[in-house]
Amino acid sequence: MEARGKTGFEFIEDKMDRLFWGYQLKPLSVVGWLALLIFAFALVYLGQTRSLGEGRGPIARSWTRFRFALMFSLRTTLQPKFGYERSTTSLFKAITSLQWVLSVILLTCLLYTVSKTSPLINELIKKLVA
């Protein structure tokens, strides 16, 4: 109903907000997006871990590779330049940089949603920004 009076960019913005946030601002949904980002990039990094776990069985080797890719993705999300400094090709430097930028955006969105659901944190954020 609220989208009836909106046209053009406002309509598209409203639809994108609904897709990303859902029907309310929920910190858990942003955590879900962040977890999905980490997992998706871990799958990308999995192709670079072929040499890990040599000499082990297929299940142990696969688990070692996946765990390494997942931890690499997590650390790339949380530490600036972690993935960039450890990438050997320019393509993976670009991929790790993209992951870090998207992670910063999602972490900022998480901070925003938490500040909207908690009056105490909202006041702290206002004081930090002012």
pTM here is 0.74
Residue 78: the pLDDT is 92
For each of the chain's 130 residues, which pLDDT tens digit applies? Answer: 455 667 777 777 777 777 766 666 677 888 888 999 999 999 999 888 777 777 788 888 889 899 999 999 999 999 988 988 988 889 989 999 999 999 999 998 888 777 777 778 778 877 877 6
Residue 1: the pLDDT is 47
In the chain, where does DSSP find H-type helix?
9-21, 27-46, 58-78, 82-86, 90-117, 119-129
Place of tokens 């639809």: 15
CB 106 within 8 Å of CB 31:
no
